[in-house]
A and B are shown apart, each in its own frame.
Chain A
Amino acid sequence: MKQIENIPDCGILLFKSCLVSVEYPGIESSTTYVFDKLGIDYLVSDEQSCCTGLGYYFDLFDQMSTTAVAARNFAIARKNGYNNITPMCSTCYAINKEACALLNSNDEVRSNINSVFKQAGLDDLIYEQNSLDEVDNFYHVVELFLSKAKQIGKLNTIDFSGVRVAAHHACHYYKIQSDDMIGNPNHPLLIDTIAKSCGADVVEWYEDKTLTCGAGFSQIHVNRDLSLKVTHAKLESLKEAGVELVLHMCPNCQIQYDRYQPVIEKEYGTKYDFVHMNIGQFVALALGADPEKVCGFQTHSVPLDGFLERIGVSF
């Protein structure tokens, strides 16, 4: 089981995400801003590909293809000596962890993929059994922040007292490999703890805290009404709790809340008075980052101007 005191702060491969890159690029710039401030030793590689998670959960990619793409990314991590694969997206986290477990435990999968590498003349990509460990080499960025929560609290420049904050912990971080999450999967508190270290007034429980965001990969596109029903239920639950800020740890969830909140307001004839941001954007802001040039809040659909003004940040 993963222990908070064992979370590494060096050899981190900050694993890029397709949805962060094209929907909320400020999540990546905020994360590297925080890593720099905290002295975390990390690498962002322009050779690393996306994890195929969307294709996999759209029912298109098969497990072997997804695992082969993961093995290539693992080779990039090893080649550079940055073996702690650390995504900003919960699906990248779960997909990579699962691929590593398969490569270590299933001889047929490993040899099949390695023979594809050999035949393509890509011998440097070959995966040696147990060259990465599916528990000790895979982290989510939120775990690194949690391990540095005290330091973050000390460096915090913003008075968050009285700001009602709630967290949405991403399903694929704590429900898939629940033994390897930090804390209790029935009541995840990673984001809550980080927000508290910055002095925020955290709402630990709200009715639908563990309900999925509703994106459901293809569901938002193919079963749009069903998808929005789930998101609406969650937003109602957050409204009931009287929160002002909802913190996220996955770009897919953030799209579902931030981009679809105005859509739901229109279609359901309701109004929500809260804004959304990723935990990386929150910590960067707390540590003094520029809301536009680092946090990239201008890319959000729910405007943050009013909220930022309320906490004394000019935007």
Chain B
Amino acid sequence: MTYVISETLSEYDTPICDTLAETVKKSLRTSDTIGIDRCLQCGACTSSCPAARFTDYNPRTMIKRVMENDMSVIEDETIWNCFYCYTCHLRCPRNNSPTQVVQVLRQMAINKGIGLDRLKVLLEYGDTFAELGVSKIPDLYVGQMEDDFDRRWHEFKNNLDAVRSELGLGPVAVRDSGRGEIRAILEGIGLFERQEKLKQMVESESDTVDKKGQITDEAN
């Protein structure tokens, strides 16, 4: 990974601080009372974690590394295994929340250009949301669902409007007052600016890959 940015994509989600623990505590994504400093390393989080049950992800050691300001934790691939199920958040006896901490670490990883593969399929999400007022599963993922699911699902999806109408339900999209409210709000709050920066990072990453490819070709 060669792409590194010094700035943060969100001063609220990943405020620039002296230590990882400070960024975590000041992030809007974590509770004001988050007990990261109170962690006992008891392991209640890891023993109840579905990702730890099936992979090498270990919320207890992840928290330890954050407390020790071990920046390499941001680049640890196992942080992407968390399910955001909040079982650790419930089980922790010290009001710590490994799942909230991981959300901040992932945002810090994204700031550094890590995890963009996941985000690049989502870059139309904001526009769809602005237009329809609903979340839409990205096309790539829908394609996978089409492969996975049988004809019952396909038939239903092809007849969604008719099914909804038979159930007495109206259109899925939000009725806009004509003010373009959702777009204006997302624009004003900076979501599109964030999305644009992510797009540039994705493009810059693919340029780097292309250049590497060319170099390899020349070397051959």
Contact = CB atoms under 8 A, between A and B. Distances in A.
Contacts of B43: none
A61 B90 CA distance: 24
B156 to A, nearest CB: 5
A175 B90 contact: yes
Interface string B152-185: 1100100010011011111110111101011011
Interface in A265-292: 292
A1 interface: no
B23 to A, nearest CB: 14
Contact of B84 (A62, A216, A262): A216
Interface in B22-36: 27-29, 32
B135 A69 contact: no
A29 B137 contact: no
A171 interface: yes
A214 to B, nearest CB: 7
B51 A226 contact: yes
Contacts of A125: 181, 185
A171 B172 contact: no
A226 B169 contact: no
A208 to B, nearest CB: 9
Interface string A43-54: 000111110111
- B: contact size bracket: 35 or more
Contacts of B27: 63
A52 B129 contact: yes
Contact of A122 (B138, B171, B174, B181): B181
Given A119-B188, A178-B90, A54 B181 contact: no
A301 B89 contact: no
A205 B87 CA distance: 17
B218 interface: no
B81 A226 contact: yes
Interface in A81-118: 102, 105-106, 109, 112-113, 116-117
B191 interface: yes
Given A59-B119, A176-B89, A293-B166, A212 B50 contact: yes
Interface string B80-105: 11111111011000000000000100
B110 interface: yes
A26 interface: yes
Interface stretch (B61-69, B142-150, B203-211): B142-150
B69 to A, nearest CB: 23
A55 B129 contact: yes
B185 A61 contact: no
A210 interface: yes
A72 B185 contact: yes
A219 B87 CA distance: 16
Contacts of A259: 145, 148-149, 153
Contacts of A119: 188
Contacts of A224: 144
B174 A46 contact: yes
A262 B175 CA distance: 36
Interface of B: 9-10, 12-13, 27-29, 32, 50-51, 53-55, 80-87, 89-90, 103, 106-107, 110, 115, 118-119, 122, 125-126, 129, 133-138, 140-141, 144-145, 148-150, 152-153, 156, 160, 163-164, 166-172, 174-177, 179, 181-182, 184-191, 194
7 contacts: A21-B169, A50-B134, A63-B27, A122-B179, A218-B118, A229-B54, A230-B54
Given A50-B129, A52-B135, 6 more contacts: A61-B126, A122-B179, A216-B84, A224-B144, A226-B51, A230-B83
What are the 5 tightest A-B residue pairs by CB atom distance, in nearest-first order?
A216-B83, A116-B188, A49-B133, A212-B85, A175-B86
